[in-house]
Chain A
Amino acid sequence: MPAMGSKRELRGRSSMRCLYLVVIVGFWGMKGVAGEADEPGNRKAWKLLAGHSASKAWPLFNHAPLSSERQLGMAAALLGKYPQTQQNVDRAEVVLQTLLRGSDRTELHAPALYLLARIEHIFREGHESQAEVYYRVLLKKHPESQWADYAAVKLALIVLDRLPGKSDTNEVRSMIAGLAEPRRSEARSNWHRLIAEYLLEHGDMVAALDHLILVRKLAEGIGKNRADLLVQLGNVATRLNEGKIAISAYEEFLIEFARDNRNFMVQREVRRIRREEEK
């Protein structure tokens, strides 16, 4: 141990002073970085989360004051953080359960239930039954919520998935008739879309066409999703000799998606259908 006031001791003290100074300056620099563009409350964290930046949103939620909103944000960020780990999923589940037990902000219960269902449905393997329980609880407890509508769509996926591959047309149709339909038109449109695709997979074009027509009627849709819908509708209607429906869908597609790669094929189809109708 160096003697008090010795050169070595003095050098040691000076080193420590330097270290403190460096640390203080470092914190000053860091503060400048972290403090940049601060936004009130958790808004910045939600914004980051909405822009696929869960890893950046996580520390903001984690250091925010305790609240139900923070809990929901934490759970969502844990699920979106990259790389995804089982520990994060388990932790998100615990946070959501705590939110459901402790929070009086009931408007956050529906999204929390939805996320719990999604943990079982998509983050875990073979837990469809547990997911179904959460979806049904959500539908029962918050029937007016838009999350109930989303749950109805996901529930349909679980039920349809259970049908044996070789089910006959009537079996499939009666199963579909028993499904709960969402209330809001956008969700209903989604619901009919996935039913239509399922029916097409099973070769039931007649029933699929009805659902595709409803999809078009219920919600506008955007981008490639809408372009695909119009082409599918035109193509299925053509195969069922529903010329008018086909031409109407195809023409809408040609107007709205003038630069789509399928235009050449669609234009040819329209000309062919018209020729056949004239005969």
Chain B
Amino acid sequence: MKKNRLGYALIIVMTLVAFVVARRNYTATTAGPGKVLLRIGHFTIDPQFRSFLEKAGGAYERIHPDVQIKQLDIPRPVYLQWQRTQIVGEMAPEIMQFAYFNAGVEDMVMHRFLVLDSWVEQPNPYRVAGKGEPMMWRDTFLDGLDSRDTYSEKLRAYFGIPLIMGGYRFFYNETMRREAGVKSGPWTFREFQQLADQLKVIGKVDAAGRPVLPMVGSNYASYSFFKMLFASVTQPLLFTLDRNYDLDVTGLDVAMGFLDGNWDYHTREILAAFNLIRESSTLMTAGFSQLGKQDGVLQFAQERGMSIGGAQVDMSYLRQLAPFEVREGSFPVPDKNDPIYGQYVLGPVTELKRSSSLTLGVLRSPLQERAVDFLQFLTGTEMMALLHQETGWRVSVQGDSTEADKLELKIGYPDGLYDTIKSRGNPMAFNRNVDLIFKPNGGPEVFADKMDAESPREIRTWLESQASTLRQTLRQQESVIIARWFMVPDHGESAEIDPDLAGFLGVNNRQEAELRSIRRFLRTHPQP
């Protein structure tokens, strides 16, 4: 009997302790006498970045003693699953990194993340005002928050705040360049092609005795080069495919344009772009498309090729790994004087825009305003300087003398069309046939034949899914519209429209017009 009583007493004590702890944890994450805990979940596990976040958290805690910052760094391969579990289980950190290259993220962001419009249209209090300031938080970013991660085209709303500029860069072995007597960059595509001969002439071979090629490749490194090559010769399409005259070619423009017969894979610019890609693949190490990112980097460090493409953030570890001097520059793309491709070139391809990355969003929670404040702090003057200092990465916010100025990054025509063509509308057909571009008995014409035959059905299905998602988005907005109207102090019969609500309705109406437009299009373009 005594044993039993002891057992019951233990159960009661443990239950009481559990509830007290749970209650304390809860109050610690909301308000009241305890500290507020802000957690940041991210997958950027580079030591330099973690160190930055640790220091930034400490700095924020010093000026806001009631706040505690904690980072949760989760390895990228398991991040998406972890993120979903946390969100569905209502345990999500207040701030989370997200990226659209992770499948299904767009839907998750739409449903669970905070819309940041009202903050980005105001100045960032943590920014030291420069000449002509204060400017809106949005305008302090080098890309004006105009990236797929930060701005949802579907909801026409801002959801993310980026910390760095992504963007792709061309890295090369400066030591080898000097040895080979090659003129310093930037090179045009033709000049880059000639590098193969120059390297042969000096008998440059790698450790295994294989001739050194102008470029090492991997699926990742080649993607960045192909993207820039594609963008360099398809610029006229930015005007001809622009369905609604806003100088922004979206997936819808491309998909509808294809079904309308405004372009296909035999269109001159498209064919030229894939020819250029095939030609450039001969400058890379064999089997590049089968190699992962790390294999490519290893080949570069082993001097099997003189250059490599990659993200701008790769520079810091390339420099750590390579036993030679590494430099970065513009990708060698055709210019207007190119005898074959020059006719399609209107100007430079942008190296500066559309490329912010490492995007953080705020989960809807009682702490959302605090979380936004912390993001403002992170992207303020002091922390952006600290991030650059800790990581060497190009930060997302403009400073007094920007890193872009030092790197002489070009502004130019957008670089997004390759991504749109390969991943919006008919990605399955593209992935099925892309190897035809490189095969000895294949080529761009064979690829184009296949794509033109296989794409219409897939594109139409994709358009249907776009209409369905848009309709879903509009449905979600109705309750928000009613609530925003109700929250306005004067919402009587003759009241004027609140400016915020007017902005929201403006977006809602445009989206609905777009939905109707897609549906009209689908009605007149039946399934082939």
Residues of A within 8 A of B (CB): 7, 10-11, 14-15, 18, 21-22, 25-26, 28-29, 32-33, 36-37, 46-47, 49-54, 57, 69, 72-73, 76-77, 79-80, 82, 84, 106-107, 110-111, 115, 118, 122-123, 142, 144-146, 149-150, 153-154, 157, 160-161, 165, 184, 186-187, 189-190, 193-194, 197-198, 200-201, 219, 221-225, 228, 231-232, 235-236, 239, 257-266, 268
Contacts and interface: CB of A to CB of B under 8 A. Distances in A.
Nearest to B410: A264
Contact of A36 (B26, B156, B414): B26
A157 B158 CA distance: 26
Interface string B207-241: 00000000000000000000000000000001000
Given A46-B486, A49-B479, A25 B510 contact: no
Most buried by B among A49, A142, A200, A263: A49
Contact of A258 (B26, B144, B246, B486): B144
Contacts of B485: 111, 146
A225 B156 CA distance: 8
Interface in B6-36: 8, 11-12, 15-16, 19, 22-23, 26-27, 30-31
A223 B121 contact: yes
Given A21-B12, A161-B516, A231-B246, A76 B353 contact: no
A133 to B, nearest CB: 18
18 contacts: A7-B1, A10-B1, A29-B22, A49-B479, A51-B480, A73-B486, A76-B483, A79-B475, A80-B478, A111-B486, A122-B471, A142-B493, A144-B494, A157-B513, A186-B505, A187-B505, A190-B509, A239-B245
B520 A37 contact: no
Given A80-B478, A261-B146, A153 B509 contact: yes
Interface stretch (B111-119, B171-179, B314-322): B111-119
B143 interface: yes
B523 interface: yes
A232 to B, nearest CB: 5
Nearest to B503: A222
Contact of A260 (B23, B146, B242): B146
B244 interface: yes
B4 interface: yes
Contacts of A165: 520, 523-524
B133 interface: no
A122 B474 contact: yes
A219 B512 CA distance: 19
Contacts of B311: none
Nearest to B502: A186
Interface in B480-502: 480, 482-487, 491-497, 499, 502
Chain B contact residues, majority secondary structure = helix
B395 to A, nearest CB: 14
Contacts of B524: 165
A80 B516 contact: no
A265 B26 contact: no
Given A231-B247, A261-B146, A266-B247, 9 more contacts: A15-B8, A165-B523, A186-B505, A200-B244, A228-B246, A260-B146, A261-B143, A261-B350, A262-B248
B411 interface: yes
A266 B366 CA distance: 42
Contact of B491 (A107, A154, A193, A224): A107
A123 B472 CA distance: 9
Contacts of A32: 23, 26-27
Contact of B413 (A47, A73, A194, A264): A264
A259 B412 contact: no
Given A52-B115, A149-B497, A80 B479 contact: yes
Give the size range of B's interface with the partner: 35 or more
Contact of A200 (B121, B245, B354, B492): B245
Nearest to B507: A225
B12 to A, nearest CB: 6
B151 interface: yes
* Closest CB pairs A-B (n = 5): A259-B144, A80-B479, A49-B483, A186-B502, A50-B483
B8 A194 contact: no
B476 A265 contact: no
Interface of B: 1, 4-5, 8, 11-12, 15-16, 19, 22-23, 26-27, 30-31, 111, 114-115, 117, 121, 138-139, 141-146, 151, 156, 158, 238, 242-248, 347, 350, 353-354, 364, 366, 368, 411-414, 471-472, 474-476, 478-480, 482-487, 491-497, 499, 502-503, 505-507, 509-510, 512-513, 516-517, 519-520, 523-524
B16 A25 contact: yes
B158 to A, nearest CB: 8
Contact of B513 (A33, A122, A194, A219): A194
A73 B156 CA distance: 25
Contact of B510 (A73, A225, A236): A225
A161 B111 CA distance: 29
Nearest to A184: B497
Nearest to A219: B502
Given A84-B472, A261-B353, A77 B479 contact: yes
A73 B526 CA distance: 41
Contacts of A47: 483, 487
A157 B516 contact: yes
A235 B247 contact: yes
Most buried by A among B111, B146, B486: B486
A52 B480 contact: yes
Given A18-B12, A262-B248, A28 B19 contact: yes
A165 B505 CA distance: 27
A268 B347 CA distance: 10
Given A161-B520, A259-B139, A261-B350, A54 B247 contact: no
Contacts of A262: 246-248, 414
Contacts of A197: 244, 510, 513, 517
A185 to B, nearest CB: 9
Contact of A51 (B5, B23, B114): B114
A51 B517 CA distance: 28
B516 A160 contact: yes
B366 A79 contact: no
A186 to B, nearest CB: 4
Given A14-B8, A161-B520, A186-B497, A76 B479 contact: yes
A25 B480 contact: no
